[in-house]
Amino acid sequence: MRPLVSILIPAYNAQAWISDTLRSALAQTWEPKEIIVVDDGSTDRTLAIARRFESSQLRVVTQKNQGAAAAANTAYSLSKGDFIQYLDADDLMAPDKIARQMEALGPCQSTRILLSALGEDSCIGIIERSFIPSALWCDLSPAEWLIRKMQLNLYMQTATWLVSRELAEAAGPWDTRLLGDDDGEYFCEFSLPATVSILYRRQRSYYRTAGPNSVELHW
């Protein structure tokens, strides 16, 4: 059987974007997949909109407002996937993003696998941006990657990563004490316990930078 991929979407007051994000998740060509949305006590229509998409593949739950890290932890606790894909509630992925990363595994037998993805110049009909690689976008040892990130204050957008469940367990939960860069800290936790790290150079996710009609090709 092919590995199950869990797409986990923490959401808070994302009514302007959540529909596009959920369509992006549902459009992933990789099967099997499950999609879990955790509404973190939104005060707008995020929960109502998300529930329109509920199906056998897409589950929506809600909790009182506790922050993005807590919502991510809840989503993970409900997931069953062999691989974990986090997706912010205002971001998008190319339809074959997960499939291409999974194909890049090839015959790899390791269970502590970390996949990251490069971008390519493209557009999705809203605005066009060119991908500009940072010093992190090359083959590095886990320790060297971590040093560069810290020294140069660089980051990689959340949707870039696809990680095995065993590696996610080794990294532990999101730190709910952090008020900023909780995703940066979380994905740093993956770097050292990973036994296999694959940088895939032809894949895209999209990072929304300003308002409902502005999307930037990020990775």
CB 180 within 8 A of CB 92: no
- The pLDDT of 3-9, averaged and rounded, is 97
Question: For residues 206 and 20, what is the distance between their CA atoms, to the nearest angstrom?
Answer: 11
Question: What is the structure's pLDDT at 175?
Answer: 82
CB 175 within 8 A of CB 88: no
Mean pLDDT score of the chain: 78
| 163-208 pLDDT tens trace | 889 888 888 888 888 766 666 666 666 665 555 555 555 556 665 6
Which residues, including other chains, have CB under 8 Å from residue 73's CB and lie 6 or more apart? Answer: 173, 174, 176
The more confident residue out of 215 and 56 is 56
Burial class of residue 91, CB neighbours in 10 A (0-12, 13-18, 19+): buried
Domains of the chain: 5-217 (3.90.550.10)
CB 65 within 8 A of CB 142: no
